[in-house]
Structures are given as structure tokens and as C-alpha cells.
Chains A and B, each alone.
Chain A
Amino acid sequence: MLKQIEGSRAMAEGIALCRPEVICAYPITPQTHIVEGLGEMVRTGELTNCEFINVESEFAALSVAIGASAAGARAYTATASQGLLFMAEAVYNASGLGLPIVMTLGNRAIGAPINIWNDHSDAMSMRDAGWMQLFAETNQEAVDLHIQAFRLAEELSMPVMVCVDGFILTHAVERIDIPDQADVDGFLPPYEPVQVLDPQHPISIGAMVGPEAFTEVRFLQHYKQNLALRLLPEFAAEFKACFGRESGGLLRTYRADDAELLVVAMGSVNGTIKDTIDEMRADGIRIGLVTLVSFRPFPTQALRAALSGAKHVVVIEKSFAIGMGGQLANNVDLALRNTPGAPRVHSVIAGLGGRPITRPSLHGLFRRALVQPWEGAHFLDLNERIVSKELHYARKVRRSGPTAENLLRRLSERAPEPALEGRSVL
């Protein structure tokens, strides 16, 4: 049924259609509206056979989900940013134990400095924690990915994180098709656990494992994620047959067939990139897009195939590893490793801490990639004026004070508008 609703509300309705049996969450912006919506549905009886458990922290939220999942319940939670950090130990436990929990991550920056706005730092902080990580491009896909996530998680007995851009998607009100219960039931069978704590048939889950088998446990986790590389496209195809639209899978391409320049990105920024590509195609520039849905497992083969015909690849990501560069760019590089005639990869860090990624900036960036490609990480729309002032000041004055406060003070000083284009600093 088509509705004009907030992304968070739509996700809550989509998750409710998956018939979760235990929901436990601790509120944190920008995820709050999702679990509020679910809590309301449990209270009003719209969502039955489900226990909504209030907990005292994110660590408790995921710990309760782990307990519930081990007891055989379909378990769900959600968090963002510092909340994910606070549950970090449990994040590793859920995947190490092989429990099929689904968690929404309302993507948000990580402090300090404190920042409530969107980027992908939180997802990247747990990229190697053994969870599968799927990124939604639209709110429609966010709804659809949750349905596919429960199917995938339970098929493999592995947890899945559905990453949704905070505010940009969670707080946007738009047209979303909420599926019918019967269709979701047809796609997502009842949860049949591969391991369950049952007093009638006692087992233990969570044994101490020494050097004799730890490597093998890890190998099997990796093996399961490799199986997901096959299952994700299968489930996406089945989903399309059931629901009539494309959602999920490993990756999607847009106007990529004859592209000389291919952009790679994850999440909601793909929409703005598509509009920019249409404008540049109208000017005769051969540019296309690869939208990555699955970051973990990383679709190395599919990505290599998608990128093989291009001369230049521009990777745009809302996160970076300080001292190294973009994690996604690094992974894309890996996919092209040892490939003869591989395209050159140009890394762009954009949209950190909620900075809007705009078409004018993207136009300049993509044109520059064709005429003046760069090495290292390029920081889109970097305000060079305040950066160089701060560097200069800190060189002159030993007790130069806190960086964030200094930059804010410099911003409030009267100055010419910063150029839209930044420059490589790494």
C-alpha cells in the first residue's frame, strides 16, 4: 500500500511485517523514531506475539537480543553512532555465536567532536565485526532490505546490520510502498533456529575455544559470508518476483555500460549522484554509477566485473580511516588488485558529520577526475581557509587550544565564502 510517511515509520511498519518476537532498543538520534514506532505497535496490539523490552543501554539492548535469539526468538534492535560503540563487545558476540539478529543502524557520525548528523563512521567502526552490512539507497529500499535481512540472517544464522542514512532517510517523509502481510509471510518463512537453548534438550552456546579450533570458527564465519554473496542476488530476484521491484542484491549499476568514468558509492547519496550523472550525460560525458548495497560481504568479483570497462573510478564515501584514507576506496582497490588494465581509483571523502553533498560539488569533482585525476584522499568542499589558519596558528602557539572550538571561532569570523572545491591533503 502506497503511503506518504516518514522513513522511520515505514521501516517500523516493514519490520513489524517480519513478525519479530523480541524487540529491545535504547533510544539514540536518529534511530529513535523507528523503535518508538515499533513500541507503539506492540502497545496498541498492531504487532502481536512480540515483546518490547526497555533496556538501560545499548550494551543491554544487543545483549537482550542475543539472549532472545539464542532462545529461538526472532530478535531485532536498532542503534546509531556512540550507541553502536557502546554495544561493540556484544556486536562481536552476536556474530561469533552465529545468531541471526537484525539491527538497523541509523548512520551517524562518531564523536568527538560531538555531532548528531549523518555519515558512515559508525557502520565502518564495526565493518570487521562479522556482521553482514547492507546499505539502503532509498527509504523504499530500507523497508525492503529489512525483510530480506531477516531471511538472509536466518538462512545463514548470522546477524545483519541494515545501514540507513540518519536524517536524510530516517527523517524524510516520502512515498513508500508498505508490503502486504501475506506477501511478506510468503517471502519470509517462520524462524527455524539452527541452535536453540531449550530446557527439554539442553545445550550450551558460547563455549571457550582455544587455539585448537578458533581459526576454524572464524573460517566458517567467513565461509557463511561468502555464501551470502550468492544468496543476496537470489533473494533480491525472489523479492522482485514477489514484490515487483528491485531492492537489495550485491550492487546495482546506472548508465554504466559505455562509461569511461564510474562512480562507486553507498547509501542515499546515490540519488544525488544519479541526477548529476544525467546532467553530465546530457553534456556528452560518459559517466555511470555502481551503487554498492552489500559492504559485508564485500562483492569483490561482482565489483571487478562492474568496473572492468572504465578508465577512472571515483569512490565517494562518508567515512575515512584517519591516517589511511577511505575504507571503501581501499576495499575497491582490493577488488581491482592484480587485474590487468584495471581502472585508476580516485578516493573522495564527502558528507562527514552531515555536510550536504551537492550537485555543483559533484559536477566539479567528476570533471576534475577526467582532466586532472588525483592520488590519495580528496576531501570534498574542504574549507581550506580555516584549516590553513588553524595549522598556522598551531605552529606558532604552543598552547593553541582545542581544535574544534578554534575552527568554530574562525568560521564565525567574517571571511570570503570558501571555494566549493577542496584539495587533497593526504
Chain B
Amino acid sequence: MFEVRIHGRGGQGVVTAAELLSVAAFLEGKHAQAFPSFGSERTGAPVVSFCRIDDKEIRLREPIRQPDTLIVQDPTLFKAVTDVFEGIKPNSYLLINTNKSFAELHLADIVTKLPAGHACTVPASELALRYIGRPLPNAALLGAFAALTGIVHLQSVATAIRQTFSGKIAEANVAAASAAHDAVAAAPLAA
């Protein structure tokens, strides 16, 4: 089983990101379970969502405590929420939406403990502004996730986006996801 935890803020599409990821995994014939952190959702408030992916039926219904991948949609959460990194494992993947470096975010200590190539940053909000016209980083982050982990293919992410949205909005999100995917695929290994 592969477990993904996504941290962001209300209005950034945190819950939608987990759902899209589950659809992408479903399209590849896998079992997937996406669920939100059941809070009172308000714009700007910290929000967590979860996605489990497996080759067999997923029975577990507890929140994800030890994620195989941690996606952070909003780096300002490091100051607001102290437990973003809770349960991160020695071989977890880490994906952060930022145009800063890990050093600038004071995360170098955490990143050096992860295997080479398991941590990366992607300017998902900037890409979203460029392609979608709004700072909604979730599609771009899923493209980056596909490149970082290989757990799902970019094509499946694109299909999931097109099934959930329509027309120009879908294509703009697919473009943002592709751009983020290519940026991560081309990036030198972070360590």
C-alpha cells in the first residue's frame, strides 16, 4: 500500500487533489481511497487530505499517520501547523509547492535524511497562475507527484483531470500538470 498525505489551505483544492489522485490510480486498475480530514472547511484554514493506493481492496479507515509521500501545497503551513512532517519515514517522498529552496525554507535537515531524489520543490502556484490564471496548485502538484514517484502516470492524472473538469479549465489544469511533471523530471536530484 502506498499512502499520500496532502497539506494545504481551504480553497487550494486539497481535497480535490486527493480525489484526482485516486481517480488516476483507479484508471490504472488499482484500488484507491481518498478522503478529507473532516474539519470545518474554511477558506485559508489548514486542511489535510489523504489518498491510499494499493493493488488489492483497501479496508483501512484510519487517517494516514506515516505517509509514503507528503505533499505540501502551501509552505506557510510550516509556521502555522507544527505537525506537517508527523510520521514522515526515512524513505518517504516530499513534494513542496514553492519557488524557494529547501535551505530557504529551513528544511535542509529534513531533506538530507531522505534518500536522494525523494524530495523536490515545484513552483506549482506560479505554474497554475501561468496556465490556469488562478493560484490553484493541485493539478500541477499531481503532475509533479507522477514524475517524482512514478506511482501513477502523467497520462492518468490528465485523464482524471478531464473527467472531473471540462473544457478550457480541464485543459489548463492538464497543461499545468504537464509543465510541473516535466520540470521535476528534468530537475537535478535534490539531496
**A residues bordering B, Cβ < 8 Å?**
2, 4, 6, 116-118, 138, 167-168, 171-175, 268-272, 274-275, 354, 356-359
CA distance in complex: A4, B19 (Å): 9
Measured between beta carbons, the chain A residues less than 8 angstroms from B59 are: 138, 270-272, 274-275
List 15 extra interface pairs beyond A174-B31, A271-B59, A272-B60, CB under 8 A. A4-B23, A4-B32, A116-B38, A118-B38, A138-B59, A167-B36, A168-B35, A173-B19, A174-B32, A175-B31, A175-B32, A271-B60, A275-B60, A357-B61, A359-B60
Residue in contact with A172 in the complex, picked from B27, B33, B40, CB distance below 8 Å: B33
Q: Is the interface of B mostly helix, strand, loop or mixed?
A: mixed
Query: Within 8 Å of chain A (Cβ to Cβ): is B46?
Result: no
List residues 1-33 of chain B with CB under 8 A from any CB of chain A: 18-19, 22-23, 26-27, 31-33
Measured between beta carbons, the chain A residues less than 8 angstroms from B27 are: 4
CA distance in complex: A358, B66 (Å): 12
* Residue of chain B at shortest CB distance from A276: B60
Q: Is the CB of A4 within 8 A of B62?
A: no
Measured between beta carbons, the chain B residues less than 8 angstroms from A118 are: 38
* Residue of chain B at shortest CB distance from A169: B61
Query: Within 8 Å of chain A (Cβ to Cβ): is B117?
Result: no
Measured between beta carbons, the chain A residues less than 8 angstroms from B36 are: 167, 171
* Residue of chain B at shortest CB distance from A362: B62
Task: Contacts A4-B22, A272-B59 given; indicate if A172 touches B34 (C-beta within 8 A).
Answer: yes
Measured between beta carbons, the chain B residues less than 8 angstroms from A174 are: 22, 31-34, 58
Count how many pairs of residues, one from A and one from B, have CB atoms less than 8 Å apart in the complex: 64
CA distance in complex: A89, B38 (Å): 30
CA distance in complex: A167, B50 (Å): 13
Task: Identify the interface centre among B18, B32, B36, B62: most chain A CB within 10 Å of its CB.
Answer: B62
Closest 4 CB pairs of A and B: A271-B59, A4-B26, A173-B34, A172-B35
Task: Give the bracket for the number of chain B residues in contact with chain A.
Answer: 20 to 34
Query: Within 8 Å of chain A (Cβ to Cβ): is B135?
Result: no
1/0 contact string of B52-69 vs chain A (CB within 8 Å):
000000111111010000
Measured between beta carbons, the chain B residues less than 8 angstroms from A274 are: 59
CA distance in complex: A2, B28 (Å): 13
Q: How far is the CB of B4 from chain A (nearest CB, A)?
A: 13
CA distance in complex: A116, B31 (Å): 28
